[in-house]
Amino acid sequence: MASGHETSADPVKSVIEEMIYVAVGTNVKDCKSILLWALRNFGGKRICIVHVHRPTQWIPNGLGGHHPVSSLDERIVRDYRKAEGKIMNETLEEYHSICHGEGVQAQRVWIEMDDIGKGIVELISRDGIKELVMGGALDKHYKEKMSLRSKKAKYVCKRAPLSCRVLFICNSRLIYTRFA
């Protein structure tokens, strides 16, 4: 399991309580509203962008089909995964730029795992996350008094350590809070 942690300044133990972690996906367009909600509702706090990278299990063959990674040469898989990692870093840089544009210092942390919900729970446990903001449903599914729709959100709500408060956002609105 690979993971990474990037920071623009050394993390200080006393500041961890003030750090707000924001889980984002690979599609900046879909997740930008979650990050902006956190930036606007936690002014003055530091932000850490959280991402679970799910490595592909199928690699395109160039003819419209795909091959399972288990059937390919290790070098081909390694090169493809390296390209995936570059794309992931570019995506995280886009999120970082959004924070910078709002005048907020941001850090980044990521983990590689096949299941995104499990990856988020792993990061919460591993890094001692006390406050997490994440999507609760796709924005297009928003309606008044809605509940969690996303399987990832339901999994995190149920399995995250009780020491972590999780705020679930949809369409730039808080739809549910799982209290610590």
> Please, which residues have CB within 8 angstroms of residue 67's CB and are 6 or more apart in sequence?
58, 59, 61
Report how far residue 17's alpha carbon sits from residue 99's, in angstroms, rounded to the nearest whole number: 19
Quick one: pLDDT at residue 44? 72
Query: Facing residues of 5 across strands?
Result: 109
Quick one: pLDDT at residue 180? 85
Query: How many CA atoms, within 13 angstroms, populate the side-chain half-sphere of residue 164?
Result: 28
Quick one: pLDDT at residue 146? 74
pTM for this structure?
0.86
For the chain, domains (ranges, CATH) are 3-178 (3.40.50.620)
Mean pLDDT per segment of 10 residues, for the chain of length 180 residues?
Answer: 53 58 96 96 90 95 91 94 96 97 94 97 97 84 74 96 96 91
